[in-house]
Amino acid sequence: MPLLLLLLLKQNLEKISSNSHKDMDERLQNFAVEGNVDAFFSVLAEDPYVLERIDQVPFVTTPLHTAAREGKSHFAKEILNIKPSFAWKRDHLGRIPLHLALEGKHLRERLSPRDLDLEQKYQELVTWLIKHDCEVVRAKAKGMVTPLHYAAQLDDESSLADFLYVCPLSIEDLTVKSETAVHVALKNGSLKAFKVLLGWLQCFNKEEILKWEDEEGNNALHTAVSANQPEMAKLLIGYMKVNIKNSKGLTALDIFYDRQGQGLVDAALGDILLAAKAKSASQLHRPSQKTSLVENFSCGLSFPERILKRFSPGYRSVDKVPLEIRNVLLVVAILIATATYQSALSPPGGYWQDDGNLQPANNAGISNSTTNAISTSTNTIFNTEPSKQRAGKIILKSPLQFIFLTCNSLAFFPSVCLISILIIGLPFYPVIVLSTSLMALSFYCAVLETFNFRRKTISSLFGILVAVGYLAKYYIPFFLSYQHAKLKLHGRRRNLRLGSFEQPKK
């Protein structure tokens, strides 16, 4: 009997404690709606563990959620200062406080569009939340919708610009339908948000994101046509090709004709596409430029590619080479290229400064017969024949000079080739390759211009040797750069290019 009484007493105490905790949570929620900071701290004085109990629930609407939705910026700042983990807490729909702040801002703007003070409070709250932790911009709620997607959907250009500024990688996040923020803005007719996104992509050279496809295989232009957005489509045409096909084999013009038959698009949209020389899929007499992974791997390597794979060093991805080794190789290659280039311009023996067999000028006191006698006696003394020297040609024509120029050229071209290989994938790579190619071409022209051997076979062989070296210097880096681009398009890096489905790490 006493045991039964103890059990009943324990149950009553747990029930009372549970009701007390529930009442305390309700009070906190009410204070969050009112924005009563003093009352919030009085609750903490009564029950120091009230926030800890809320934090232990996996999915819960915290007082920070409520304050964010109601626009109570001061209350939100106070509770975020006391419990920073609430910034990442999710409600039953996976939303964090930043989602609710955007939602509350949008709802209040619709109810009172001229209330600038209220809009400023919400914007201040949004700014405070992303300053606390910029990664909250990538938090995914139901449908894998991030705050960036939500801002694009609500046409909130000010919040959208702030999100892109503090967290640029958020532009790569995709919804559950593989939609970027650009897709979301287009489908919801958010023109102001779309202009912000387009301007940001242009400033940071991220226009390739416009080509990313959603789950239906539509890029940004296909989506703009499908959503009947003429102005947005007109802006996109300046950045995209109008005749790209989606996964269903339809161009933007095909989508327009299909939607026009259903009466769902503006006729002005068709005029914009036709003015940009858009064509339907049936008018394009060329196969699709897209190749699948199966086709890419099944076709194998071409004959030149197989040769370079077997003989060219550095066929493997250059980015797998440790940075320290790359730096050492680059310094050594630059030193060799510099030394050999200078040696070619200043070979042993030097160059003739003028043409040979020149007759001295006639003087008033010396007759022509005297001049001829002097010239004849000079040739007799030094046992020389009429000279064939030419200004700018090398003086020495010995076999050792030929060996020197050959070895010097064989050292120069591989070193320049190595420089081009080591910088594959780095910024401004095409500019550096162009500069090194022009330098190698000038080396080739300088050597041939000064090369002066009597036997034409030697001159021809040397010219062929130098030409092969120059072509190898140009072709090997070009081939490796092509392979590097294929890895980006068809390898593992393609997953990164297609966007991020992962949740951000706290």
Residue 162 lies in a domain: no
Hey, how many other C-beta atoms are within 10 angstroms of the C-beta on 98?
A: 28
CATH code of the domain containing 52: 1.25.40.20
Distance (Å, whole) CA 361 – CA 116? 96
Region of poorest pLDDT, from 52-56, 154-158, 483-487: 483-487
Q: Which one of 113, 132, 151 terminates a domain? A: 132
Expressed as residue numbers, the domain containing 423 is 291-353+388-506
Where would I find the H helices in 177-301?
181-187, 191-203, 220-226, 230-237, 252-261, 267-275, 293-298
Amino acid at 24: M
Residue 131: its H or E element: helix 116-132
Distance (Å, whole) CA 105 – CA 69? 8
Q: How many domains does the chain have?
A: 2
Q: Which one of 132, 150, 185 terminates a domain? A: 132
pLDDT tier at 366, thresholds 50, 70, 90: very low
Region of poorest pLDDT, from 81-85, 348-352, 439-443, 495-499: 495-499
Residue 241 lies in a domain: no
Helices 116-132/97-111 angle, 10° precision: 170
Mean pLDDT, residues 405-431 taken together: 79
Residue 281 lies in a domain: no
244-260 per-position pLDDT tens digit: 888 888 999 999 998 88
Residue 85 lies in a domain: yes
44 to 17, 24, 78, 80, 83: CA distances (angstroms): 16, 10, 12, 14, 12
Residue 193 lies in a domain: no
Q: Which range has highest mean pLDDT (4-13, 112-121, 371-380, 381-390)?
A: 112-121
Rg (CA), the chain: 38
Q: Which one of 84, 116, 132 terminates a domain? A: 132
267-291 per-position pLDDT tens digit: 888 899 899 898 888 888 655 445 5
pLDDT value of residue 358: 46
Residue 341 lies in a domain: yes
Residue 43 lies in a domain: yes
Residue 284 lies in a domain: no
